[in-house]
């Protein structure tokens, strides 16, 4: 199950990187890409929650879960700006991405080390 969560987060990250680059280049952000990014990340988050709650993983996976929840909250905030057609706050874009990247690396370390 953790591998499925990692895969979903990895694909979501590709969309997130694309959205961040478009934002930094002051280009229009496609709503479909934002929705796909959020849906993939949310699916990974639900799976990770199930794994952690069931006790199948702890330690780094729990820390990663906490960071992914923070990233998701930032993502909801960014999406609300997007829906209101307001400019995204660049610092929030960076914090959202940084939290997700750190969480992803912790989850990956958990799987690779078995910790």
Question: Exposed, middle or buried, 3 (CB in 10 Å: 0-12/13-18/19+)?
Answer: exposed
What is d(CA 89, CA 65) in angstroms, rounded to the nearest whole number? Answer: 24
What is d(CA 43, CA 6) in angstroms, rounded to the nearest whole number? Answer: 10
Predicted model pTM: 0.92
- pLDDT given for residue 10 in this prediction: 98
- pLDDT given for residue 99 in this prediction: 98
Q: Are 60 and 91 in contact (CB under 8 A)?
A: no
CA R_g for the chain: 14
Across the chain, which has 115 residues, the per-10-residue mean pLDDT values are 95 98 97 97 97 86 96 98 96 98 96 78
**For residue 5, which of 93, 68, 98, 55 has the smallest C-alpha distance?**
68
What is d(CA 110, CA 112) in angstroms, rounded to the nearest whole number? Answer: 6
- pLDDT given for residue 115 in this prediction: 54
- pLDDT given for residue 57 in this prediction: 76
């Amino acid at each position: 199950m953790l591998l499925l969560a990692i895969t979903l987060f990895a694909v979501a990250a590709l969309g997130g990187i694309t959205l961040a680059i478009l934002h930094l280049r002051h280009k229009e952000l496609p709503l479909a890409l934002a929705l796909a990014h959020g849906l993939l990340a949310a699916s990974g988050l639900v799976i990770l929650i199930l794994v952690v709650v069931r006790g199948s993983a702890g330690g780094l996976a729990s820390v990663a879960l906490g960071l992914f929840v923070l990233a998701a909250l930032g993502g909801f905030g960014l999406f609300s700006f997007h829906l209101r057609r307001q400019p995204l706050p660049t610092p929030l874009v960076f914090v959202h991405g940084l939290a997700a990247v750190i969480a992803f690396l912790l989850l990956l370390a958990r799987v690779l080390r078995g910790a």
